[in-house]
Amino acid sequence: MATFLIDIPVPSMGATVNELTIIDLMVQPGDSIAKGQKIAELESDKSVFEFESPGEGTVKALHVRAGDIVPTGTPFLRMSTSDESLKHLTASEATIGTLPTTPAAPSQKPVQSAPATPLQWTPRALKLAQEAGLDPASITGIQATGPGGRVSGDDIALFIEQRKAGASSTDAKEFPKGFLSNSLETVCIAGIGYAVPKNVMSNSEILKEFPDRTEAEMIKLTGIHERRHASEDESATDLAAIAAQHALKQAGITPEELDGVILATLIPDQPVPSMASRLAQRLGMRHPLAFDLNAACSGWLYGLEVGRAFIRSGTAHRILVVTAELLSRITNPKDKETAFLFGDGAGAAVLTDAPGGHRLYPMALSGDADYYTAIQRVGGGAMMPMPHPEGHDKDHFYLKMDGGVVFKAAVVAFTDEIQKALARHNLKPEDISWIVPHQANERILKAVSKRVGIPYEKFIVTISKYGNTSAASVSMALGWASEEGVFNAGDKIIFCSVGAGLTYAGGLLVW
């Protein structure tokens, strides 16, 4: 029987859905597939479904990659078949034989990376580069801190010094060839700790409000089996203090020796004064600088960068960076978008100017305010400080999220943060030992793994037992993995996060 080529399209999911995320692909060119065989796992608007082949044949090429976000109706894969019922999918003569050897990048992205532009240099920087025998046009991964984002003389001087240091036998053993250590900009993470409430909240308990849903469905959607919820008499400061004490003990530092505390949270125990001040009082710190920081789920990484900058500038020598979230207090138990996602917890790290220890490199901080309304809690601020006496605005005091928008934005932004960290330090995916991401959603992390080419087994994932704990999630995942003895000296660890705002953060830690 004669065979012909067909292009199977990305399935349509209704008038309101115009693009899908490819979570995983189950076939590759050369595979023989049967009608009804699962060929991919797709996601749309908080729904996960299996894409089955409409007929039997042999896969000739893929038009997509795992992790891509693609419009519905566009070509998905090319197949040779003899099934006459699929004649309407026959590949166009104009495109037969023109497929690229690698699948095309996604045609639409909810978050666009800035286009690459040539670096601009100050005259002094150009002179120093030429004197060192370097071609400025060939230099990548250099920090540009001069006016208007230009490479300054200080930047190239540091770059040259790092190249010299990288040629030493010690660096050659520890780092891959071409690695930019930026050692003069790092600080030491001397201690790490985390804490969670004792009260475990199971999926079955939450499902009481949703009789039309099953636990298997919830696990498939989120990857979460359970989360922790604080008891009524437990405060965020209580958890923060436990995490901080663990970190201080590991660092061998007393609270009195700290110069300050930075606390990242989106729901402090009270608006004024800062929760950082309350924690400082609880720990017995002497005359500390203390303030709260709200970058939502990216908060702890923002806090690490602020603390690192304080130490590098000489403002402080030892900084405690803490995060604590009681999201159970602002999660609507009747909202199917958020009820299963959020949990409570805290994490902490002690940053010092010591020369040894785990080296924290500069974090890249950014965001996209176009997605300001994607995750928000309207009530509780100056515009709506208290609920209306009649209670008709109660929902405004709960955290709300547009799940479909956040999912797509997060997949692209997580990928971007990881790839930028690799580029900044001249690293390849295979150089990375671990990814410690914000624990947003298991499906997001799996899609990101496919996009960046780093195996999912290298992702530290704790969402199954702790849920999404916002700013606390990266610190808790790092603390858990450290306690488990997962890391080895010299491991290169990339942090990445996306939070309400939207806020983005990513960077490198060498263990």
What residues act catalytically?
A: 297, 438, 468
Residue 200 bridge partners (DSSP): 228
Taking a C-beta distance cutoff of 8 angstroms, is the pair 70, 8 a contact? no
Q: CA nearest 342: which of 410, 301, 399, 414?
A: 399
| Residue 300 token pair | 């702890």
Taking a C-beta distance cutoff of 8 angstroms, is the pair 468, 457 a contact? no
Residue 375 bridge partners (DSSP): 401
Alpha-carbon span 259 to 319, nearest angstrom: 6
**Element at 403 (helix H, strand E):** helix 403-424
At residue 190, φ and ψ (nearest 5 deg) are -90, -20
**Contacts with 183 (C-beta within 8 Å, 6 or more apart), sequence order:** 162, 165, 359
Taking a C-beta distance cutoff of 8 angstroms, is the pair 441, 411 a contact? no
At residue 137, φ and ψ (nearest 5 deg) are -65, -20
Q: How many residues does the chain have?
A: 511
The beta-carbon contacts of 135-142 under 8 Å, at least 24 apart in sequence, are 140/423, 140/426, 141/180, 141/423, 141/424, 141/425, 141/426, 142/180
Q: Let me know the angle formed at the C-alpha of 467 by 194 and 359, rounded to the nearest 5 degrees.
A: 40
Alpha-carbon span 491 to 511, nearest angstrom: 5
| Residue 357 token pair | 């220890």
Taking a C-beta distance cutoff of 8 angstroms, is the pair 60, 75 a contact? no
Cis-peptide into 502, omega within 30 deg = yes
Residue 24 bridge partners (DSSP): 41
CA 208 to chain centroid, in Å, comes to: 31
Q: What is the DSSP secondary-structure string of 483-497?
A: HTT---TT-EEEEEE
Alpha-carbon span 31 to 112, nearest angstrom: 34
Q: CA nearest 491: which of 433, 438, 441, 428?
A: 433
Q: CA nearest 156: which of 117, 164, 148?
A: 164
Alpha-carbon span 132 to 377, nearest angstrom: 54
Angle separating helix axes 442-452 and 403-424, nearest 10 degrees = 40
Using DSSP's 3-state secondary structure scheme, residue 24 falls into strand
